[in-house]
Amino acid sequence: MTAFNAAQRAHQNFNENHPTALAAMLIAGLKYPNAIGVMGGVWAVNRVVYAVGYKNSGEAGGKGRYYGIAWQLSHYGMIVMAAMSAYKIAVAA
């Protein structure tokens, strides 16, 4: 039962972060398509690593989720790049 609850929590965390990641990729991809492609790939792969680690370490307090923590670094990077892209687009107009 603990593994099911941990998998459910990992999935809910994905649902909470997926919309902002997609929006950031769409906006930042206008100015930085190659970098966002790489960061989006890192985000996607590490989300799976995060979910599997979190599910498998349910009894250890969820410490396995730290194996896929690179998703969060790429997520923040994409948000910063999206803000930079939006600013550059707004200034150019």
Query: Nearest to residue 43, comparing CAs of 11, 65, 12, 72?
Result: 72
Summarize pLDDT for 37-71 with one digit per residue, the tens: 999 999 999 999 999 988 888 666 667 778 888 99
pTM: 0.87
Long-range contacts at 48-52 (CB < 8 A, ≥ 24 apart): 50/10, 50/13, 51/7, 51/10, 51/11, 51/14
User: Hey, CA dihedral for 75, 46, 53, 21, is it positive or negative?
Assistant: positive
Q: Does the structure show a pLDDT above 70 at 75?
A: yes
Summarize pLDDT for 28-39 with one digit per residue, the tens: 999 999 999 999
Q: What is the pLDDT of residue 54?
A: 87
Query: Nearest to residue 10, comparing CAs of 42, 55, 43?
Result: 55
Rounded Cα distance, 3 and 79, in Å: 31
User: What is the average per-residue pLDDT within 81-92?
Assistant: 94
Rounded Cα distance, 45 and 65, in Å: 13
Q: State the DSSP code for 1.
A: -
